């Protein structure tokens, strides 16, 4: 939903999560007649104590760091209310925690990555390819 709002308003992505999301363009198709939606929890959540079904036939991914790491990295941030966290600083923390030593992107290149997303993301996850 967030990515769709950013597209409609013509603003850039706020972080990597919404930048990688697929916009809900079918929402604006007035000829759309067949709607369906099924919420699918993240496989990462299946590895927690939450009552989430385990993915069938797949291994459950493990987080890059434990809760103590993230607590230390985000110490002093105010998560009590929306929009109290500095988005740039938080994104830097997320990047370091998830991407390790890869350099943080300095600017958006503006490329439309909607086509061939699966191949693009696979290459991104395996940069040696």
pTM assigned to the model:
0.47
Q: What is the pLDDT of residue 38?
A: 77
Distance CA 79, CA 89 (A): 13
| CA-to-CA dists, residue 30 to 8, 35, 38, angstroms | 16, 12, 21
Distance CA 59, CA 91 (A): 28
Domain boundaries, the chain: 2-29+63-125
SS (H, E, C) 75-115: CCCCCCCCCCCCHHHHHHHHHHHHHCCCCCCCCCCCCCCCC
Is pLDDT above 60 for 127? no
Choose between 42 and 76: higher pLDDT. 76
CA 118 centroid distance within chain: 15
pLDDT in tens, 63-120: 788 889 999 999 999 988 877 888 889 989 998 898 888 888 877 777 776 777 777 7
């Amino acid at each position: 939903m967030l990515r769709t709002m950013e597209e409609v308003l013509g603003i850039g992505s706020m972080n990597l999560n919404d930048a990688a999301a697929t916009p809900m363009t079918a929402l604006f198709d007035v000829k759309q007649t067949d709607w369906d939606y099924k919420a699918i929890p993240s496989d990462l959540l299946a590895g927690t104590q939450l009552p989430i079904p385990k993915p069938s036939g797949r291994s459950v991914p493990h987080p890059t760091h434990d809760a103590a790491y993230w607590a230390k990295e985000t110490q002093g941030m105010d998560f009590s209310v929306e929009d109290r966290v500095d988005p740039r600083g938080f994104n830097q923390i997320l990047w370091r925690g998830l991407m390790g030593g890869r350099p943080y992107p300095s600017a958006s290149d503006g490329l439309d990555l909607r086509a061939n997303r699966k191949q693009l993301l696979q290459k991104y996850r395996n940069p040696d390819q």
